[in-house]
Amino acid sequence: MAYFDNAATSWPKPEEVYKTVENVMRNFGGNPGRSGHKKALEAARLIYEAREVIAEFLNAESPTNIVFTMNATDALNIAIKGVLRPGDHVITSSMEHNSVARPIYALTKCGVEWDIVKCASDGTLDPEDVLKAIKPNTRLIAMTHASNVTGTVMPVEEIGKIAREREIVFLVDAAQSIGVLDIDVKKLNIDLLAFPGHKGLYGPQGTGGLYVREGIKLTPLKQGGTGSFSEELMQPDILPDLLEAGTLNTPGIAGLAEGVRFLKKMGLSRIRTHEEMLARRFLEGLEKIEGITVYGCPKQRSEVAVISLNLKNLDSSELAFLLDSRYDIQVRPGLHCSPLAHKTIGTIERGTVRFSFSIFNTIEEVEKALSALEEISSEIG
């Protein structure tokens, strides 16, 4: 088996993640932030420690600037709908995932204006084009950090600077970058960073988060019990309570914290080096296979180990099916929930087959994938 679908959800996870989730369920079963007895306090401590480890990982001001969510999509909805009001203008790239595009599209039905800045056909974005799209009512620039289709990395630092100088809120979707690229929210001028827990951070599914810069005021998407200021019908106006209603996923979040500790112990550069090595070998091998088209920017193809390809005229679903059923190789075909990106790179009709690597993939698995592709290529002539 070779699991190359880490951009959808990473698997396997580090052993400590499995163990922590189980241990927390069995032995730390209280409701964090409620009650006040020892089991509730233990749960609250686990959650706070998770905020701490993630805040440090992102160079956030404080653990309270980390809000836990169900997944990155939840975080993106909280961010986008927390900022935009009718009459506001929002700018995105043309490489966005539906988790950015669909919430914004829904808001355009309520008077929000949306401009999509066109990327080149390799997925790259010129920050000048973002600058040109800014209007007096631009309130938000929302952008993926790295494309989930081509792995293309966006110039977030430059765009962050452009946004900050104009007091435009800058939201980054770190779905494919967190746990791989260095993210220092201060250095990159990021106001809001939405991230999944279950991809590059190696946490369990059902986790994600939103970094909210101190001073950025969001209208909450959801209200409910917080275990704080319970006498008030208004959602408490402090972070993280303002954006966290209801019982958190304590075992999941404790597992996520273990995932981040694993990354810190390994060091992001080691992870990146390993994944880049796999990606480079894969790309090198692909060059020798007849009929392979690789999408995205050649210079960046190995930076975030997400590689989209097609083989001759084969349907992407058919190729993925052959790889899975005959070679036990798991990849993702189709549009990867990113129609805008596929329009940009010219693959909206057939989609692509995506290979995405993690620290747990091996060079042997990559060789196996290359042999499989070679065999399929020669078979279909």
Closer residue to its own copies, CB minimum distance, 34 or 312: 34
Minimum distance between the CB of residue 298 and its own copies, rounded to whole angstroms? 26
* Contact in structure between 77 and 210 (CB atoms under 8 Å): no
Closer residue to its own copies, CB minimum distance, 136 or 246: 246
DSSP symbols for 68-93: EESSHHHHHHHHHHHH--TT-EEEEE
Tokens coding 153:
């990395």
Minimum distance between the CB of residue 186 and its own copies, rounded to whole angstroms? 27
Minimum distance between the CB of residue 204 and its own copies, rounded to whole angstroms? 6
Minimum distance between the CB of residue 361 and its own copies, rounded to whole angstroms? 13
Percentages of the chain per state (helix, strand, coil), in multiples of 5 = 40, 15, 45
Closer residue to its own copies, CB minimum distance, 65 or 71: 71
Closer residue to its own copies, CB minimum distance, 163 or 194: 194
Closer residue to its own copies, CB minimum distance, 162 or 180: 180
Closer residue to its own copies, CB minimum distance, 63 or 333: 333
* Contact in structure between 100 and 76 (CB atoms under 8 Å): yes
Which candidate, 353, 285, 290, 369, places its Cα nearest to that of 319? 353
DSSP symbols for 127-169: HHHHHHH--TTEEEEEEESB-TTT-PBP-HHHHHHHHHHTT-E
Runs of H (alpha helix) within the chain: 15-27, 38-58, 72-83, 98-108, 127-133, 156-165, 250-266, 268-287, 316-327, 339-345, 363-380
Q: Is 232 exposed, middle or buried (0-12, 13-18, 19+ CB in 10 A)?
A: exposed
Minimum distance between the CB of residue 136 and its own copies, rounded to whole angstroms? 26
Minimum distance between the CB of residue 234 and its own copies, rounded to whole angstroms? 7
- Give the torsion through C-alpha atoms of 116, 120, 124, 125, to 10 deg: -40
Minimum distance between the CB of residue 195 and its own copies, rounded to whole angstroms? 12
Beta strands 169-173 and 138-144, pairing class? parallel
Closer residue to its own copies, CB minimum distance, 245 or 268: 245
Cα separation, 83 vs 220, whole angstroms:
9
Beta strands 89-93 and 352-356, pairing class? unpaired
Minimum distance between the CB of residue 283 and its own copies, rounded to whole angstroms? 22
Closer residue to its own copies, CB minimum distance, 103 or 160: 103
Minimum distance between the CB of residue 13 and its own copies, rounded to whole angstroms? 7
Closer residue to its own copies, CB minimum distance, 189 or 199: 199
Phi-psi region of 246 (alpha: psi -120 to 50; beta: other; left: phi over 0): left
